Amino acid sequence: MGVPLEFTDPGTFQPVKDMIGGGPFNLDPGMWTDDTSMALCLAESLIKTRDFDPVDQMQRYLCWYQEGHLSVTNECFDIGNTTLQALMKFAETGEPYSGPDHEYSAGNGSLMRLAPVPLFYMSQPLKALEMSGKSSRTTHNHPLAVDACRYMGGLIHGALMGKSKDEILSSHYSPVPGYWDEKPLLKEINEVASGSFKCKEPPEIRGRGFVVKSLEAALWAFHKSDTFEEGCLLAVNLGEDADTTGAIYSQLAGAYYGKSGIPKKWINSLKKLDLIEFIIDRLFKI
């Protein structure tokens, strides 16, 4: 959905209303970007190892980068700088937690692929939180990225458990009572968890690559909307890192609204739909 608006500045484009393709990589309608490829790699790793294996995850990400594994075009046509740095370090050292943690590495590249982890640990809420954070560290070791994934992992788990939107978006929601008291969030993520997205509008809300802004924008779209479609369009029409803002929103909204809440025309338009459904089905059967 965000493909045609990727890298565009707010106010410089006609808002999208449907799945139309295009964008900087000239993709067909229904094709997806690195967000989905990496999420599928993560899901495949959880399925094949039946465990959280960071080495296996990084091997699959590397296979995607080098060989186009689980890419919609069978090649890696886009990759974030932080992810690339981590993969190159892993290829050289074999260290799975290779994500950089310097000041410019707090990007959204781990948050965009997160959903398979809370899905895999649906019956273990504490693990859903802890492993969501660990899933960031493979490519994004900055504490802000790790905390964004911990927090969003809890929200996705709550949505999967059928919690109301008001409860999920309540201040500092966690499926594990008292968790944020014991393991506090960093200030910037804590502000989002306190509900900063409820009292802001664009241009304060921005779909940027910075993980704090991405998280805030996705939650703003979820909070402002009443359907999956409405929120998705709000998210991607922020422009800038539109595909990733849409991916982050849709992980939570998909868990909340379920497959039946996603427009059928969008699902049926997806390229390699059989592959996506096969991986999701196996993830739920473990």
Token digits of residue 212? 């704090």
Q: How far apart are CA 148 and CA 146, in angstroms?
A: 6
- Enclosing H/E stretch for 267: helix 264-269
Q: How far apart are CA 203 and CA 139, in angstroms?
A: 29
Token digits of residue 150? 């911990």
244 is in an annotated binding site: yes
* CA-closest candidate to residue 2, choices 261, 200, 266, 196: 266
166 is in an annotated binding site: no
Q: How far apart are CA 235 and CA 100, in angstroms?
A: 27
33 is in an annotated binding site: yes
Q: How far apart are CA 244 and CA 213, in angstroms?
A: 11
Cα distances from 286 to residues 12, 77, 114, 160, 275, in angstroms, run 45, 31, 18, 16, 17
241 is in an annotated binding site: yes
Angle at which helix 54-67 crosses helix 34-49, to 10 degrees, equals 140
35 is in an annotated binding site: yes
34 is in an annotated binding site: yes
Residue 234, Cβ density class (10 Å: 0-12 exposed, 13-18 middle, ≥19 buried): buried
Binding site members: 33-35, 241, 243-244
Binding site residue list for Mg(2+): 33-35, 241, 243-244
